[in-house]
């Protein structure tokens, strides 16, 4: 028990911060309330540092995943926190700046930030999960606060409609994977992932187990916005304030992918004709899911005139890319074959570049609200000529979009390269073809953003288009966009870290299997250092 507590130190810190934020968020004094964001930031930073020094453990299924995922979540979480500045209580603050009295009872600041922290805690807990119930609670802790965050993110009715949609569909998703978990328990008689893995290893998956995992994966597909659970994405992102949409595009998705990793690692890639794939039924479901998710996401993005909807669909498509890594599996564990580490690394790349695009969008506003307050801009017309009117923002957008497109040598390309290499090494040729074709389709709409920002004349109305007054957002935008270049020299260590993160907790069955595979592979001489010597 106590060892487990040591593993969740970052979550404990985040939880304490949440409580503090909730309390100071209720203060009657305006200045105390304004401290919510700062306190949250300190909490996340401490959690991130603690995550790096997570003690070694053997109890988790993927021990390396814990520090990796939590550090990533804390890092991106800090950027998100910066980005979220100015989302909540806008009209209230405007009134305060105009010298009117602060009305504490109407402010939602405390709730908003504590929900944000709760959700981050949930994502981190997903990484630590070693048990189905834990995993369920963590996933829901990551998601439930987001429903409220969407609803209160803007005073518009659209946000509330989006939140209702999001909640209902989310509830359906949650019910589906909870039912799947129940069936898995029914099939194996335990909720511990490592025990489930051992039982499956000896007894096989069985019909109930297969159905359980299938339902669980389908339900969690909602979190990562994969087909057929992706429908909410554009509507909800559009309804939410842009920074909250950026949050939705990262946190629940990260939680979902961590859960996917854990569940598929529980089944193991030791099935199929060559003993290196998921069981047929699960593999087929994930394969179809990956192919459809990429394709539908990219194709639907083509028509959008709203950059926000475009980015929503693009985030769907990126989930499809990452699913390719899961279908491929770890191979022999080497860089070339490891689809899982490719997927984790892609999640990192996606976290930064996607945030960059959303953050720039969040920075562009126009002071045309009824009280002269800023209104979000989100159409392609609004970012036309951004490189001329606001060069820093414009180029941040261009960099982020090009990285999302996978333009070499930006970070997004490195991520995609690893996925493609793993896919081809793993023999998933057709899926890689689908991925590459989709990258080509994606070029059509990302380039519309890029060309609009760089080449076209600013929109006639853009005269009153201004940058946000919230410095935090701009910092978040510039930092995320810069990271797609700045992180390039560190790709090697980062990939190595993600490879360590997905190294399975050793059991005899798995180790012999991977040795057999590696003997047959000609690539071992290139890299056989990390997983083999564990």
Residues 321-350 that bind another protein (CB under 8 A): 334-336
3-state secondary structure of 409: coil
**Judged by CB under 8 A, does residue 299 bind another protein?**
yes
- Nearer to another protein by C-beta: 145 or 374? 145
Of 88, 86, 83, residue with least CA distance to 473: 83
**Judged by CB under 8 A, does residue 496 bind another protein?**
yes
**Judged by CB under 8 A, does residue 463 bind another protein?**
no
- Nearer to another protein by C-beta: 215 or 340? 215
Q: Which of 418, 474, 479, 484 binds another protein (CB under 8 A)?
A: 418
**Judged by CB under 8 A, does residue 49 bind another protein?**
no
3-state helix/strand/coil string of 461-522: HHHHEEECCCHHHHHHHHHHHHHHHHCHHHHHHHHHHHHHHCCCCCCHHHHHHHHHHHHHCH
**Judged by CB under 8 A, does residue 102 bind another protein?**
no
- Nearer to another protein by C-beta: 417 or 511? 417
Site for another protein in 144-163 (CB under 8 A): none
Of 248, 222, 254, residue with least CA distance to 69: 254
Tell me the C-alpha distance between 22 and 27, whole Å.
Answer: 9
Tell me the C-alpha distance between 408 and 406, whole Å.
Answer: 6
Write b or e for each residue in 429-459: b if 16 or more Cβ atoms lie within 10 A of its Cβ, otherwise e.
Answer: eebbebbeebbebbbebbebbbebbbebebb
C-alpha 390, offset from chain centre: 28
Q: Which of 160, 235, 373, 469 binds another protein (CB under 8 A)?
A: 235
- Nearer to another protein by C-beta: 370 or 457? 457
3-state secondary structure of 366: strand
Q: Closest approach of Cβ 452 to another protein, in Å?
A: 10
Site for another protein in 261-280 (CB under 8 A): none
Angle between helices 339-363 and 65-83 (to 10 degrees): 10
Contact region for another protein (CB under 8 A) — 54-62, 121-129, 202-210, 460-468? Answer: 202-210
Q: Are 83 and 472 in contact (CB under 8 A)?
A: yes
Tokens of 282: 């699960």
Q: Closest approach of Cβ 302 to another protein, in Å?
A: 4
Q: Which of 51, 74, 127, 218 binds another protein (CB under 8 A)?
A: 218
Q: Which of 275, 408, 463, 506 binds another protein (CB under 8 A)?
A: 408
- Nearer to another protein by C-beta: 49 or 430? 430
Tell me the C-alpha distance between 76 and 471, whole Å.
Answer: 17
**Judged by CB under 8 A, does residue 462 bind another protein?**
no
**Judged by CB under 8 A, does residue 96 bind another protein?**
no
Q: Is 304 left (phi over 0), alpha (psi -120 to 50) or beta?
A: beta
**Judged by CB under 8 A, does residue 117 bind another protein?**
no
Q: Are 223 and 256 in contact (CB under 8 A)?
A: yes
Q: Closest approach of Cβ 6 to another protein, in Å?
A: 13
**Judged by CB under 8 A, does residue 23 bind another protein?**
yes
Q: Are 396 and 484 in contact (CB under 8 A)?
A: no
* Unique residue bearing structure tokens 């989709």: 438
Q: Which of 214, 262, 294, 510 binds another protein (CB under 8 A)?
A: 214
Q: Which of 414, 453, 478, 510 binds another protein (CB under 8 A)?
A: 414
Contact region for another protein (CB under 8 A) — 52-60, 464-472, 490-498, 504-512? Answer: 490-498
Q: Closest approach of Cβ 193 to another protein, in Å?
A: 17
**Judged by CB under 8 A, does residue 525 bind another protein?**
yes
Contact region for another protein (CB under 8 A) — 31-39, 249-257, 292-300, 475-483? Answer: 292-300
Q: Which of 52, 59, 91, 168 binds another protein (CB under 8 A)?
A: 168
Q: Which of 42, 96, 148, 447 binds another protein (CB under 8 A)?
A: 447
Q: Please provide the size of the chain in residues.
A: 534
3-state secondary structure of 209: helix
Q: Closest approach of Cβ 18 to another protein, in Å?
A: 9
């Amino acid at each position: 028990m106590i060892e487990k507590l040591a593993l969740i130190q970052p979550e404990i810190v985040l939880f304490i911060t949440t409580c503090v934020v909730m309390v100071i968020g209720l203060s009657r004094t305006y200045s105390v309330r304004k401290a919510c964001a700062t306190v949250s930031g300190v909490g996340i930073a401490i959690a991130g540092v603690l995550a790096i020094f997570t003690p070694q453990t053997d109890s988790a299924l993927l021990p390396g995943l814990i520090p990796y995922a939590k550090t990533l979540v804390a890092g991106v979480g800090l950027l998100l926190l910066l980005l979220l500045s100015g989302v909540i209580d806008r009209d209230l603050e405007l009134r305060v700046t105009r010298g009117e009295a602060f009305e504490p009872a109407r402010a939602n600041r405390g709730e908003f930030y504590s929900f944000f922290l709760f959700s981050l805690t949930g994502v981190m807990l997903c990484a630590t999960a070693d048990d189905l119930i834990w995993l369920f609670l963590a996933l829901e802790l990551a998601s439930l606060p987001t429903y409220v965050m969407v609803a209160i993110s803007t005073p518009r009715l659209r946000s509330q409609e989006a939140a209702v949609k999001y909640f209902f569909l989310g509830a359906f998703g949650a019910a589906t994977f909870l039912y799947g978990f129940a069936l898995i328990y029914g099939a194996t008689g335990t909720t511990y992932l490592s025990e489930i893995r051992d039982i499956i290893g000896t007894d096989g998956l069985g019909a109930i187990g297969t159905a359980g995992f299938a339902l669980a994966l389908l339900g969690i597909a909602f979190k990562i916005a994969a087909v057929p659970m992706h429908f909410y994405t554009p509507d909800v992102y559009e309804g939410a304030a842009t920074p909250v949409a950026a949050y939705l595009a990262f946190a629940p998705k990260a939680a979902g992918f961590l859960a996917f990793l854990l569940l598929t690692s529980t089944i193991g890639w030791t099935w199929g004709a060559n003993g290196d794939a998921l069981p047929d039924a699960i593999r087929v479901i994930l394969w179809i899911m990956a192919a459809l998710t990429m394709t539908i996401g990219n194709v639907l993005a083509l028509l959008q005139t709203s950059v926000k909807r475009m980015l929503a669909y693009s985030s769907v498509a990126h989930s499809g890319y990452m699913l390719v890594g899961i279908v491929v599996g770890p191979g022999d564990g080497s860089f070339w074959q490891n689809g899982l580490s490719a997927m984790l690394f892609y999640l990192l790349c996606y976290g930064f570049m996607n945030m960059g695009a959303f953050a720039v969008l969040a920075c562009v506003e126009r002071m045309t609200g009824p009280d002269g307050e800023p209104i979000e801009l989100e159409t392609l017309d609004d970012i036309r000529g951004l490189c001329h009117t606001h060069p820093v923002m414009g180029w941040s957008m261009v960099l982020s979009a090009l990285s999302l497109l996978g333009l070499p040598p930006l970070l997004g390309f490195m991520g995609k390269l690893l996925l493609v290499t793993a896919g081809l090494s793993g023999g998933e040729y057709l899926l890689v073809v689908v991925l590459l074709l989709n990258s080509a389709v994606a070029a059509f709409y990302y380039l519309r953003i890029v060309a609009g920002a760089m080449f076209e004349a600013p929109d006639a109305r853009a005269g009153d288009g201004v940058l946000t007054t919230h410095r935090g957002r701009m910092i978040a935008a510039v930092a995320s966009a810069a990271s797609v270049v700045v992180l390039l020299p560190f790709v090697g260590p980062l990939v190595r870290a993600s490879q360590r993160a997905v190294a399975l907790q050793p059991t005899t069955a798995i180790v012999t299997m991977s040795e057999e595979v590696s003997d047959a592979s000609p690539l071992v001489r290139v890299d056989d250092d990390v997983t083999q010597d564990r």
